[in-house]
Structure 1
Amino acid sequence: MDLYLKNLNFFKNVADQIYNTLQNENSNYNSKIEYIKEFNNILVESDDGKCFVHSIYDKDREAEELLKGIEDETELLIIYGFGLCASAEKIKEKFDKIENIIFVEPDLNLFNEVLNNIDMEEMLNLFYGKNVTYIINKTPEEACEIIFSMFKNKINKKVSFIYNISYRTLYKNYFENFCEIFISSIKKLKLNITSQYDLVYDEINNIFKNIYENNISIENFIGKFAEIPAIIVAGGPSLNKNMEYLKEVKGKALIVAAGNGIKILHENGIVPHFRMAYDPTVEEYAIFRNIDTEAAPLIYTNRLYYECVNKYKGRKISFFSAGELFTPYIERKIYKESLLISSGFSIVAVTLDMLIKIGMKKIIFMGQDLSYNKEGMYAKGSIYDNSEMFDYEKHGMKKMKDINGNDAYTHDGFLGMKYNLEDTIKQNSGNTYINATEGGLNINGTIIKTMKQVIEEDLVKEINIKQIVESEFNKTGDLIERKDKIREALQEFSKELEEVEKLNFNRIKYLEKILKNKNKGQKLNRLLNDMDYFNKNNELEKNILYQKVMSTSISNILYAIYWTFNYDGKDKEKQIESELKINLNSSLEIKKIVELIKNNLKDSFNE
């Protein structure tokens, strides 16, 4: 069997993705490859240049120079440019702490020639005990996506990038683009964890400040609008084309202003039937500042920034979102089952799911561009500054065509919203969905119409929508009784919280004892036994409130703590240090959350 076939069979048995690449893909490069036996080297000619992949003078010196880019504490090593892997033995000799090695080889033509000259199984044996990954024939974006999906849970691993200098000549800008995308992805993930960290505290503050508000449940409206079309009004720039039509269709469709659409409609003298908001941050209040809050009922969840709710003078309708944990847990002590609305990627997605779940069969989108255009970023009246135009492409946005064939600029956030809407539509395909935005990106599963067509074809029947809404508010019963029930539920919740606090206090006390013994020099085996006992007798994990609500609500924080201090090696002392840091920091975070909830509960009991 020749060497290439041996390597092919090897990959077939241990790495089917590489095997499939070798069998089914063409190279991303139009390169000419020649193995020069005299130099044990490969000559490559690409569109960007022509050179050997390794030095023809001194491969050892080349390897030494390459390895200078590896820091001593490196745990994840990314090598751009496999070549003939002349540096393999030196990596093995010098860097024992490296746990994971990733080879990025952009050119399949070159890798095929490598397989004619290197026994891959023997080469891999040099890295015995390490995790080795090959990424073959992928773009910089694809390579980063693969690496990030594998290692995003280990963002605090010490990473080193090294590269074969010849590849920088042969495949211009690949390495630069790869590094830029990789670093950007890490920054986004860390920012996301930080944002979610802040969000947890915002939500807890809001929930316990909003829980006593007088409202009726969205469940009161299940089936009440089944024969009535609904219009969801978002704040995209195309809303400028057709928002005036809303004034003439108010008796023919249920109009729901979503998020920024609330402010835009107010500024343009249009009053919807409902306003809907969801965001827990203080910035959300800008939507409500200086608007007539008595003009239309507000649909909200308790996670909404509390001043949006507390200062709203009009009537209110509450709902539970799937991403909200505390309110459903507390209110189920009163009402056994509650309708859960999907938390979605955007307020429009939440609104869509709500309308579907209360039984509406025809839903019309307006202002749902999911992109920006030359007219601006938002419709007139938005809370966001729309005056300064800027170069969308320069700011990293993707250029696409809108439903009319015009240029539109979008980003991953908008595309995520688009796919989320499309998934919901697909899952509820028995309904009719109309995109009357008159611009922006296409939303699969919708029928594209102008608002004028919608009025002529879909909004033909006059309905007294106001009367339906009024009748539900007029038969709500005693709101004081509801307040009393919530107070009782909160008192029960408070007792459960005290139990969590007690269990967590005992955890901290036990962990601090182990830490104290460690600092005194207690034997490793005794410390390991103590940690083992701690892990096997973790009563907090069995607590229902902690299990169902608290751990989930701060999961991203606990997740970040775990990957910050996690140690996968065999050094027992480092194992103990890692476990102590993870558990102590997690317990201190739980303590902070408990104290925050207790303070909010104290305020709510005083109301």
Structure 2
Amino acid sequence: MIKSNQKELKNNHKLLLDLIVKNENFLSEEPLKIGDSKTGDKTLEVDINGRPLSIHSKYNPLKEAQKVVDQYRNGIDQYNHIVFLGCGLGYHIEEFINQYPDKKYTIYEPSPAIFYQLLCTRKVDTTILSKVNNICLDFDPIYWEQLINELVHDYDSKVLLVILPSYTRAFSEQIEEFTKLYKEKIQQRGMSLTADLHFSKRWTLNSLINLPETIKSPNILMDKKEVFYGKPVIIVSAGPSLHEELENLREIKKNGTAYIIAVGSANKALIASDILPDAVSTYDPQKHNYRVFMPMLEKNIDTVPMIYGTSVGYETVEKYKGPKLHFVTTQDTVSPYYIDYGDRPIELVDDAFSIATVTFEIFAKLKADPIILVGQNLAFKDNLYYSKEIRRGKSGNAEIKEKDLTKVLTVKDVNGKDIKTNMSLNQMRLNLEEKIRIYDNVQVINTTKNGANIEGANFLYLNEVIEKYLDIKVVKRNWYTLKDSHPIEKTLHKISKMEREETSFKGLYEKVRRIIEEISNATENYSINKLENLLSKLDKSMKKLMNNNFFQFIILPISRIDYEKLQFEVKKLQTIDDITTRSRIITKEFGGYLIICKKIYNELLPEMKLNTHSKLRTLKGKYYSSDCGVFKYTRGWSTHRYSNDINRVDSKIYYNTRKNAEAISFKFSGSSIKIFAGTRNDFTSKVKVTIDNEEYIVSSKSNESTEFIFEPDFPILEVRNLEEKMHFITIELLDDNHFVFNGIEIEANARVFHIEEVTEIRDLEIGKRIRCHYKANFNKPGVFSGLGKETKLFISSQSNDYPNGDFYLIMVDKDGEKLKLISDRNVQKNISWSIDLTNQLNRYKKSDQIKETIQINLLESSEWDYYIVNSEMLELNKIPKSDWNLLPGSYFWTETLQNKGVVYRGMNYEQCNNIAFKGVTPNYEARDSAGARIKMLIIM
């Protein structure tokens, strides 16, 4: 090697030099021929299959290099990073650097011997080696695969690949492989980046809200290994070819010779054909994911277990009423922190572009054998995108849509013929093939007729698979049940620890924010010595912040893209010598990132504390939220939702006041109580809690800065060892500062009562209320029961699609022996209207104690106005409007038909839902969903 070249490598590319020196004997023996061109410049010749091939022009390599640059001149300004595929003797690289000195440069050389000859033949220390950022020699595929990963994750780079023309002939295989993998990774990165941008907050939110269910359900990878080991598993996808295999699947299901797992929309085709899968699998974090299971929800099928990724849309977990098993995805940082698996390390499943790939990895890890793919077309067939049975979008069929035909490409099918697919489906295929390569010890059979060929999965007709592999019954009944639940005690310890870390995070955040502020001031004043000290303090404080558990498990996963950008900017600072310039960049970048962290904190803290910690803590007790209906508020209270931008229409509600003497009252029977409120440094320090005649003065003032949302659900008072009897409680504000009330916790065998609550029908009068239970399936009228009793906890004030809880009936009128009561909330969130809906709702399960006649109807629209909106009845005017749970979007059907439509109502809101006509008679068919709020007539 020329000494100056070696010296420059030692200074800037030390690891590369060590690699070259280690392999120098091998590199020097390569049969490469160095010669002179007509202009006297060196040229290079390689041997390709016994034939010589010139890497450079034998006449004028420099002029040839200029032509290479000219080929890329148009549009080069949009790129800031040039990657050379092939360096040869470096002429074109030098020309690029001369003409575009400000760009970033990288070299990939498929023949390390050629680069070695460059070092030995030409002095390029100042023209190439000192200017190029990265040099990758193809000693092993791991080197260039690592380079590609670095390129696609470099957010600041817009990369242009420049191929030396002779290399497309001399090293066609390596160049093609590099460019192919680069394009695939770019596509994957684009899809992954899009997913990160869209779902990063959703992944964490879902994992938090799903956690109470996750803790109760088996982890399929850790609790069910023995079920699937060596057993055949069929992964059924929704491709067009599924239709042709339904009868084969029916036979397999009947005989129990393989576990049938439906992924994506495949359950729709199976249910439509009266075939119940052995399980369904899901992982999509989006809100609408539950719609995939609509046929099962509508038919109230609750015997098929759902295998869900812990970061799946929480709505899916809430609405699906069948048995559940979970798996922890790599996008979920929450569950691994909270759930205790003892000494066993938690097994994770990679997030992927399709649920089929995710499900394949699950059963490959479980060592199922064989894994059989059905309906995995990953391409178009007969103008179909899905199997015929599936109704897709507004068209109501399974046909290809215009949007599917963007970026169409051709691949080989299982018979070696050309078949059309699109980029999205093809990326799913590539992703699945990659997983099959990783789990190469698992036999994978593709039975998809005319589907895309899947490398690593041999094609075999399903009827042949049945004959060859599926000859004995393997499916066990109730295989999905959990013998022992996960221990809650260690999770409760983790909750306490996380809440300490959350408090610590706010302190660390404030410290970093103040340092950044000081850096900004010192920069403007050119206080150089002070800046050095402050930058050192910032570095130490940021490290502490980033090591904080709340940051690591909640903030960072959501802000990962912004964090990676921050890291990239920090790396660039190493090239900037001027301390004031560095300080300005630090102020801007770190300050911007802190604002993002604060926004995430303010949105996710209420979800963590109210939806996760509160539910987990009360697995052994009862928690009554401020909007559950048992608390009587004076008129100075207002309701608010915790704000977020995660499209949660059902975000939690809290009650707030800042008026002296405003109060809450309720009764409870039991021996202990805990009261929860919001805390912050601008909140009240004077709250009087009276239990019977005993007074307690408590505070909701804390050290938390107004930079952040208040700390919700903080225990401001706990009283134990009370006498087992009915206790009367008031909570009263004693000043004009903010007081946020979140709720109370009592023992599992205790009960809370509204001040105006009665337990016997005979005690009812206008303004009084009585408890009642309602249970219903999805979009179906349910059954009422338990008047006066506590059957379960309350139905949410915002209601839900699967109500199974209590609510209040408030008495609004009396006509002789007939009592009229109206429900204090929508008892069901979504139910389709039909002409017979009232009759269907009129179902009360009587007990022996109730002798009265009970009739249940929908309200007339005029009754809503008379009793609630414009009520002049003194007894009803005493009831705050908030007691009727009049929430945005909580509309409900009435019995009123008007203008050829049915009226549905909300507070000060009326709208008719149009109904079709047939001839002269209205054809009252089921329409869009609204809530169900009922009136009950009790005839004494």
Query: Could you give the per-residue CA deviations for residues 52-89 of structure 1, whole angstroms, max 9, x where no partner exists?
Result: 757879x9x99999999899999645579979867888
Equivalent positions of 1:400-439 (< 5 A) are: 400-402=412-414, 404-408=415-419, 409=421, 411-426=426-441, 429=442, 433-438=444-449, 439=451
Deviation at 1:259, TM superposition (A): 2.3
CA contact (8 A) 2:378 2:428 kept: no
**Partner of 2:535 in structure 1?**
531
Deviation at 1:325, TM superposition (A): 1.5
Equivalent positions of 1:121-520 (< 5 A) are: 121-127=122-128, 129-131=130-132, 148-157=148-157, 189=189, 192-213=192-213, 215-218=216-219, 221-224=224-227, 229-250=232-253, 251-252=255-256, 253-292=258-297, 294-295=300-301, 296-332=304-340, 340-343=347-350, 345=352, 346-355=354-363, 361-367=368-374, 369=376, 371-375=378-382, 376-382=384-390, 386-388=398-400, 395=407, 397-402=409-414, 404-408=415-419, 409=421, 411-426=426-441, 429=442, 433-438=444-449, 439-444=451-456, 448-462=459-473, 465-469=476-480, 472=481, 490=495, 492-520=497-525
**Partner of 2:619 in structure 1?**
none
**Partner of 2:578 in structure 1?**
572
**Partner of 2:601 in structure 1?**
594
Q: Distance in 2 between matches of 1:520 and 1:290?
A: 68
Cα 1:66–1:460 change in 2 (3 A) is: closer
Q: Distance in 1 between matches of 2:230 and 2:427?
A: 36
Per residue, is there more helix in 1 or in 2?
Answer: 1
Deviation at 1:227, TM superposition (A): 7.5
**Partner of 1:172 in structure 2?**
none
Q: Distance in 1 between matches of 2:252 and 2:326?
A: 26
Q: Distance in 1 between matches of 2:598 and 2:405?
A: 46
Q: Distance in 1 between matches of 2:334 and 2:455?
A: 34
Q: Distance in 2 between matches of 1:541 and 1:146?
A: 26
Deviation at 1:122, TM superposition (A): 1.7
Query: Could you give the per-residue CA deviations for residues 77-133 of structure 1, whole angstroms, max 9, x where no partner exists?
Result: 5579979867888877887655x4346899999x89x979x9754233235642266
CA contact (8 A) 1:239 1:366 kept: no
Q: Distance in 1 between matches of 2:410 and 2:455?
A: 17
CA contact (8 A) 1:558 1:586 kept: yes
CA contact (8 A) 1:341 1:350 kept: no
Q: Distance in 2 between matches of 1:467 and 1:161?
A: 56
Deviation at 1:420, TM superposition (A): 0.5
* SS across alignment from 2:601: helix
Cα 1:570–1:41 change in 2 (3 A) is: same
Q: Distance in 2 between matches of 1:269 and 1:449?
A: 25
Cα 1:229–1:121 change in 2 (3 A) is: same
CA contact (8 A) 2:237 2:265 kept: yes
Query: Could you give the per-residue CA deviations for residues 324-361 of structure 1, whole angstroms, max 9, x where no partner exists?
Result: 220221223x967575342353423433444455x664
CA contact (8 A) 2:385 2:400 kept: no
Q: TM-score, normalised by structure 2?
A: 0.49
Q: Distance in 2 between matches of 1:517 and 1:119?
A: 52
Q: Distance in 2 between matches of 1:593 and 1:20?
A: 57
* SS across alignment from 1:362: coil
The amino acid that maps onto 1:324 is D
* SS across alignment from 1:289: helix
CA contact (8 A) 2:87 2:93 kept: no
CA contact (8 A) 2:108 2:135 kept: yes
The amino acid that maps onto 1:514 is I
Q: Distance in 1 between matches of 2:28 and 2:550?
A: 53
Q: Distance in 2 between matches of 1:308 and 1:434?
A: 30
The amino acid that maps onto 1:593 is I
**Partner of 1:30 in structure 2?**
none
Deviation at 1:258, TM superposition (A): 1.8
Cα 1:383–1:535 change in 2 (3 A) is: farther
CA contact (8 A) 1:231 1:365 kept: yes
Q: Distance in 2 between matches of 1:221 and 1:290?
A: 27
Q: Distance in 1 between matches of 2:135 and 2:326?
A: 52
Q: TM-score, normalised by structure 1?
A: 0.72
Deviation at 1:179, TM superposition (A): 11
* Aligned pairs, number: 575
* SS across alignment from 2:386: coil
Q: Which moved more, 1:207-216 or 1:181-190?
A: 181-190
**Structure 1 unaligned regions, length at least 5:** 28-32, 169-174
Tell me how large the CA RMSD over aligned residues is.
5.7
Q: Distance in 2 between matches of 1:341 and 1:105?
A: 37
Q: Distance in 1 between matches of 2:504 and 2:31?
A: 62
Identical positions, percent: 19
Cα 1:95–1:302 change in 2 (3 A) is: closer
CA contact (8 A) 2:39 2:60 kept: no
* SS across alignment from 2:296: coil
Per residue, is there more strand in 1 or in 2?
Answer: 2
